[in-house]
Copies of this chain bind each other. A is one copy, B any other.
Amino acid sequence: MERSWAPTAERLALSAATTAGAHVPTAGVPAWLEEHRRSGGTVVRRIPFAELAHWSFAADTGNLRHSSGRFFTVEGLDVRRPGTQWQQPIIVQPEIGILGILAKEFDGVLHFLMQAKMEPGNPNLVQLSPTVQATRSNYTKAHGGTAVKYLEHFLDPRRESVLTDVLQSEHGAWFYRKRNRNMIVEVDGDVPDDDAFRWLTLGQIHELLRLDNVVNMDARTVLASAPSVPAGTRALSSDAGLMTWFTGERARHDVHARRMPLGEVAGWRRDAYSLGRADGRFFRVVAVSVEGAGREVAGWTQPILEPVERGVVGFAYREFGGVPHVLAHARVEGGFLDTVELAPTVQCAPSNYAPLPAGQRPPFLDALLNAAPERVRYSTVHSEEGGRFLDAESRYLVVETDEATTPTQPPPGYHWVTPGQLNWLAGHSRYVNVQARTLLAILGTVTAGR
C-alpha cells in the first residue's frame, strides 16, 4: 500500500472545513455538557489528607501512594542543572495510558466520537473528551469499576485503520517521564449510540476550542498528534535546519533529575490539607473527595495537584514571506525523559515572577500580555488533565508580534517554526510538549491561510 500520510491529511482538512456536522449542531454541545454535569450531580470536596481512603504517606519515604501500589504516587524530584538546582514533589505514573478518539465517515466526512466526561479537577467538571481515556489500571479494572466503553477499538486495531498512534509526553513540571498513547482509529461498521458521546467534525471541534474550558487536554493533544495542520512547503528554516537547531538544544542542556523521598524534599511543607512551598509559589498537593459521580466507580478520594494560579501559555506569531510562523522555545522541564521539548514562546504562572524586575521576567511574557487586542488571534482558557490537576487553568494565546518584540533572529533557545513543521514533529514522541500541542490543535485555524 501507499506509505504516505497525505490521504489522512486531506481527509482531516476536509473535516476541518466542515463546520456543520452530520449529527448535532455545534451550538448545542456546551448545553449537552452542562446537562451531563447536572445529571451527574458530582460534588468535589477538599478533604484533609487523613480522610483519603487507601491513600497514605509512607512512613519511611513520605511518598504518597495507594495501598494497592497502583494508579500513581507522589514522590520527590531533585533536579540539577549547571548553575541551578531544585527539589519538588512530582507525580510518578509509569503506566502508559490510552487517549483514543474513534473516527468514522458520515456523508464522506470524518467525524470524531467525543465524550462528555467528568474529571474532578476540571473547573466545570464535564468537558469534551476523547472517546477513551484509560490508564492500564482502568482497563485491567484495578479499582473494580465498569468496563471502559469503546476500549476494544484501541487495544488491537487493524493497522490500516489507525490514523494516528504516537507516545506523547505530558507536563514535565508535574509528571515524572509520563507519556500516553495518542490514537485516532477509524471504524467502518456501526458504533452503538450512547448519550454520553457525540460525533463531531474537526471543524466543529475547532469552533468549540474557541470556548473556555470546553475541550479537555486529552482531546487537544490527540488532535495535535494527527496530521491536522496544512504542511506547507516553505519555512524560515528548512526541516534540516530546524532539526539541527533542536538537536543542538537537546545536546547542550545537562539535566540531572533523580527521584527522591517526598519527605525529604527541601523547601516544601505539609499541613493537614496541603503540601506546598513555604513561599507559596508554583503548586500544592491536596486531597479531594469525589461524590455522587456516575463514573466508573460510585465515589472515591484521591490526591491531586493544584497550581497556585492561572498560567499564561502563548505563541508569538509572525509571517515571513507570507508564511505563518510561531516562536518555539526549547524548554527544560525536570520530568522530561530527555532534557528539552519544544514549548510555546511563553509558558508560566506570571505571579511566580511578579516580584522580579522587568529584565528578569520570562522572555516575551510582556510582549504577549501587552499586545493590542486586534493582534490577539487566539485567547481561550483551557484546563489541564482533570484527573490529576485541580483547576489547572491557563490562558492560551496566539499573539501577532513584530520585529521589535520578537526578532527574526531570536535569542538562543528560541526558533521560528511553521505550524506544519510543529505538526510534523508532533507525529513523533518527545518533540512537542503538551502545552504546545494544545496550541497546535488550533494553529491551523488562527493563521493567515484560513
Contacts and interface: CB of A to CB of B under 8 A. Distances in A.
Interface of A: 1-5, 8, 94, 96, 157, 159-160, 162-167, 181, 183, 231-241, 243-245, 247-248, 250-251, 254, 337-338, 418, 420-421, 427-429
A404 to B, nearest CB: 24
B3 A159 contact: no
Given A241-B162, A244-B157, A251 B3 contact: no
Nearest to A181: B251
B244 A1 contact: no
Given A4-B239, A160-B237, A167-B247, 20 more contacts: A1-B235, A1-B236, A1-B237, A2-B234, A2-B238, A3-B238, A3-B421, A5-B238, A157-B244, A159-B238, A159-B241, A159-B244, A160-B238, A162-B241, A162-B243, A163-B240, A164-B240, A165-B240, A166-B247, A181-B251
B167 A233 contact: no
A237 B157 CA distance: 14
A102 to B, nearest CB: 15
Given A3-B420, A167-B250, A247-B181, A160 B239 contact: no
Contacts of A163: 240
B160 A248 contact: no
How many copies are assembled?
2
Contacts of A248: 165
A142 to B, nearest CB: 15
Contacts of A234: 1-3
Closest 6 pairs between A and B when the two form their complex, measured CB to CB: A165-B244, A159-B241, A162-B244, A96-B251, A165-B247, A3-B239
Given A244-B157, A428-B428, A251 B5 contact: no
A97 to B, nearest CB: 9
Contacts of A421: 3
A421 B2 CA distance: 12
A418 B1 CA distance: 12
A170 to B, nearest CB: 15
A57 to B, nearest CB: 23
Nearest to A180: B251
13 contacts: A1-B241, A2-B238, A3-B233, A3-B238, A8-B240, A159-B237, A159-B238, A159-B240, A159-B244, A160-B238, A162-B240, A164-B240, A338-B429
Contacts of A239: 3-5
Contacts of A237: 1, 159-160
